[in-house]
Amino acid sequence: MIQPIIGNIDFIESLRGKKATFMLALSNTKTANIAGITQAGIPGMIHLTPTLDSEFVCTGEVRSLDNIAETPKGVPTPALITRGIHLLAPYGRVELLDLGLELKPKVKYFKIHDFNIEPSKSIAKGANINAQELFQKGVNFGQSYECKDEYIILAESVPSGTTTAMATAIGLKHKGKEYFSSSFKDVPNDIRENTLKLSLSHIGEKDDIFEVLSKVSDNMLIFNAGFILGLNNKIPLVLAGGTQMASVLLIVDRILKLMGGTMETSNLALCTTKWVAQDEQSDIKALLELLRFDINAYYADFDFSLSEHPALKLYDEGEAKEGVGAGGALMYGFLNGVSKEAITKEVENFLK
């Protein structure tokens, strides 16, 4: 039910039966306001998506708007999957990382790590992030973080995050622009292409890594690169995401290169959905093969073939694909004895 993309099954099998902290990194970038660049949310309300996603994962309710985030085509947020797994095989706890939200989630009792970070600007105009300070905040958090469960699943909700992920990788002079995914089935290449061009046009020849990141990236990517380095392999960490999490690793790769350093990555893995792993318009495997360190990567072999619900069938047709850690959540379900049938039913229940 869990398939390797790179590496073998042992890392993830060694986590079978263990409890994880589900950590959800939330951020807004004004890039999402570019018309048509993302479908991760309700038009005009897209900035609310991470807030609503996190409310729903924590409580089963959305509070900052009347409805759960869904695309104009009616594809419901992958938060439904993440929440569904939490009902069937609960995470040890859910913690939120506020990495620059327009609106804080209306939840009590849940740990919200606050780092005093502002939403970032549109990469089309230069994102204007203090990248070095943000990265350092990630490192500090990783160094000081004490996990109360046996491992961490790190997920994200960042509208237009695949675009900033792509700009980040290209800005850092990685190959493979064509390897990047989008929440759209028919990726709006013109809009992305323009945004990307505008974004990269701000980079100066002599810009260092952090100067580049400050212009073309987003908070989630930069902070989590620091978090991984700060955590320093001390506890198993599963990056729950697709090309965005791959981009986090591409930042780590460039920083290690800069420092002439290496990093032990035996406790680090990425896990995504089948929709990303088998996406014909992106190539997560190729992205991960750009890294100069070893990493295990997996996908959860789940789809909605057991469902008749039209909104869920859209996932199997290539819409939405990933987000809110859906792939890592599915993995967690499988590692804790939950069946495809049970997950399908649970997600369908939310749509009744």
Footprint on this chain of a second copy (rule: CB under 8 A):
8-11, 13-14, 16-19, 58-61, 86-94, 107-110, 266, 335-338
Task: Rank residues 14 and 281 by Cβ distance to a second copy and give the closer one.
Answer: 14
Least distance (Å) between residue 2 CB and a second copy:
10
Strand partners, 272: 299
Least distance (Å) between residue 17 CB and a second copy:
3
Task: Rank residues 101 and 123 by Cβ distance to a second copy and give the closer one.
Answer: 101
Least distance (Å) between residue 61 CB and a second copy:
7
Half-sphere exposure for 35 (CA within 13 Å, toward CB) = 0
Least distance (Å) between residue 236 CB and a second copy:
9
Task: Rank residues 59 and 130 by Cβ distance to a second copy and give the closer one.
Answer: 59
Task: Rank residues 17 and 74 by Cβ distance to a second copy and give the closer one.
Answer: 17
Task: Rank residues 7 and 126 by Cβ distance to a second copy and give the closer one.
Answer: 7
Residues 6+ apart with CB under 8 A from 68: 52, 56, 62, 76, 77, 79, 80, 350
Half-sphere exposure for 41 (CA within 13 Å, toward CB) = 27
Strand partners, 76: 70
Task: Rank residues 107 and 172 by Cβ distance to a second copy and give the closer one.
Answer: 107
List Cα–Cα distances, 127 to 189, 200, 216, 262, in angstroms: 20, 11, 6, 29
Residues 6+ apart with CB under 8 A from 301: 1, 2, 3, 274
Helices assigned H by DSSP within the chain = 10-13, 49-59, 79-88, 131-144, 161-171, 189-201, 209-216, 219-231, 243-259, 274-277, 284-289, 310-316, 326-335, 340-350
What does the CA dihedral 253, 257, 263, 269 come to, rounded to 10 degrees?
A: 10
Task: Rank residues 19 and 313 by Cβ distance to a second copy and give the closer one.
Answer: 19
Task: Rank residues 36 and 60 by Cβ distance to a second copy and give the closer one.
Answer: 60
Least distance (Å) between residue 57 CB and a second copy:
10
Strands 111-114, 151-157: pairing is unpaired
Least distance (Å) between residue 328 CB and a second copy:
15
Least distance (Å) between residue 261 CB and a second copy:
24
3-state SS, one letter per residue, for 227-277: HHHHHCCCCCEEEECCHHHHHHHHHHHHHHHHHCCCCCCCCEEEEEEHHHH
DSSP string of 63-105, one letter each residue: -SSSS--B-TT-PBPTHHHHHHHHHHS--SEEEEEESS-SS--
44: left (phi over 0), alpha (psi -120 to 50) or beta: left
Task: Rank residues 232 and 266 by Cβ distance to a second copy and give the closer one.
Answer: 266
Task: Rank residues 36 and 90 by Cβ distance to a second copy and give the closer one.
Answer: 90
Count of CB atoms situated within 10 Å of the CB of 233: 14
Least distance (Å) between residue 137 CB and a second copy:
25
Least distance (Å) between residue 37 CB and a second copy:
33
Least distance (Å) between residue 285 CB and a second copy:
20
